[in-house]
């Protein structure tokens, strides 16, 4: 255990939580809540043009200014949270669950399964993500499910590579041998023996992947794929209002900040997850 700069909270709960993690959690929670209740929070409907001016400044009524069509930015960001958080979360979950399970399985089973899986996923990995996205959307059009599946498909190989390399080490441990000669099934081996040992790094990896997915989502929207109008994820908001950058229009600054806060805090949270306190005799 290393000494931590921040103080301890909640050691009464038998967990050691640290301040940075708490802040991260607060922000993530904030956006999650926004995402859930966006529909009730927005002052104007997302598509409604409320300002004759465009890239309007912040002022009462339009707290975050107006966008390139003169729509209320606050409403659009609140709704955008729903898409950015929702889609990225769904995608990262699918990607990591699939990737990690496959990775662990490959490490345990070894042999042909391993090499075949590795080859295929390597191949997938070698196709540039944005191009992959482009082709998929060109082929089957852009809807939220498609978007989610595409994003996850793009990040499965990474998760696979990562978890496999971890699992390979665990697999050499004697407790794996013990479990094997007990006659345990593959599911038990990866679920109950390996996973608990790699969950930490896997989560950390998930955090970074989340950032990349959020960014890729905005990248794809740069290439004109994404949520259906009038709705837009944050990346799309930044994109469509990029013209406001020269004037420092809130329409482009705010969504950028929103993205940053979300991604940064997710990582802070994961880097500082609460740890179970082993020392039982703690006060």
Find the binder of another protein among 49, 113, 186, 187 (CB under 8 A): 49
- The 10 Å CB-count burial string (b at 16+, else e) for 109-118 is eeeeebeebb
Q: How many residues bind another protein (CB under 8 A)?
A: 95
Residues 186-215 that bind another protein (CB under 8 A): 192-193, 196-197, 199, 208, 211-212, 214-215
Smaller CB separation from another protein, 148 or 162: 162
Residue 180 makes CB contacts below 8 A (sequence gap 6+) with 189
- At closest approach, how far in Å is the CB of 135 from another protein? 5
> Rounded to whole angstroms, how far apart are CA atoms 12 and 36?
31
Smaller CB separation from another protein, 90 or 179: 179
Residue that has been written with the tokens 């500082």 in this structure: 272
- Asked if residue 1 binds another protein (CB under 8 A), the reply is yes
- Asked if residue 59 binds another protein (CB under 8 A), the reply is no
Angle at 98 between CA 24 and CA 167, to 5 degrees: 85
Find the binder of another protein among 128, 145, 186, 187 (CB under 8 A): 128
- At closest approach, how far in Å is the CB of 253 from another protein? 9
Residues 141-170 that bind another protein (CB under 8 A): 141-142, 158
Report the length, in residues, of the chain: 283
- Asked if residue 30 binds another protein (CB under 8 A), the reply is no
Find the binder of another protein among 27, 149, 203, 245 (CB under 8 A): 245
- At closest approach, how far in Å is the CB of 242 from another protein? 5
DSSP codes of every residue in 245-272: GGGT-HHHHHHHHHHHHHHHHHHHHHHT
Find the binder of another protein among 125, 146, 191, 273 (CB under 8 A): 125
DSSP codes of every residue in 53-80: SSSPPPBTTBTT-B-TTSBBHHHHHHHH
């Amino acid at each position: 255990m290393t000494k931590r700069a921040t103080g301890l909270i909640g050691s009464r709960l038998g967990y050691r939580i640290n301040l940075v993690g708490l802040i991260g959690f607060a922000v993530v929670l904030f956006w999650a809540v926004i995402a859930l209740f966006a529909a009730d929070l927005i002052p104007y409907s997302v598509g409604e043009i409320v300002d004759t001016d465009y890239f309007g400044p912040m002022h009462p009524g339009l707290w975050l200014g107006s966008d390139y069509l003169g729509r209320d930015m606050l409403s659009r960001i609140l709704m955008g949270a729903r898409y950015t958080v929702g889609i990225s979360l769904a995608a990262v979950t699918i990607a990591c669950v699939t990737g990690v399970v496959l990775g662990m399985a490959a490490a345990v089973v070894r042999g042909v399964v391993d090499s075949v899986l590795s080859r295929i996923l390597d191949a997938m990995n070698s196709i540039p993500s944005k191009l992959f996205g482009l082709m998929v959307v060109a082929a089957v059009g852009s809807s939220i499910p498609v978007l989610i599946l595409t994003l996850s498909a793009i990040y499965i190989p990474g998760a696979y590579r990562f978890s496999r390399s971890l699992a390979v080490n665990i697999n050499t441990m004697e407790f794996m041998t013990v479990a094997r000669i007990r006659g345990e099934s593959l599911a038990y081996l990866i679920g109950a023996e390996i996973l608990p040992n790699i969950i930490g790094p896997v989560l950390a990896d998930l955090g970074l992947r989340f950032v990349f997915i959020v960014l890729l989502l905005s990248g794809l929207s740069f290439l004109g794929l994404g949520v259906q109008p009038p709705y837009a994820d944050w990346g799309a908001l930044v994109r469509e209002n990029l013209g406001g950058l020269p004037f420092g229009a809130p329409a482009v600054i705010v969504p950028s900040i929103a993205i940053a806060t979300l991604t940064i805090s997710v990582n802070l949270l994961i880097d500082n997850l609460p740890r179970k306190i082993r020392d039982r005799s703690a006060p």
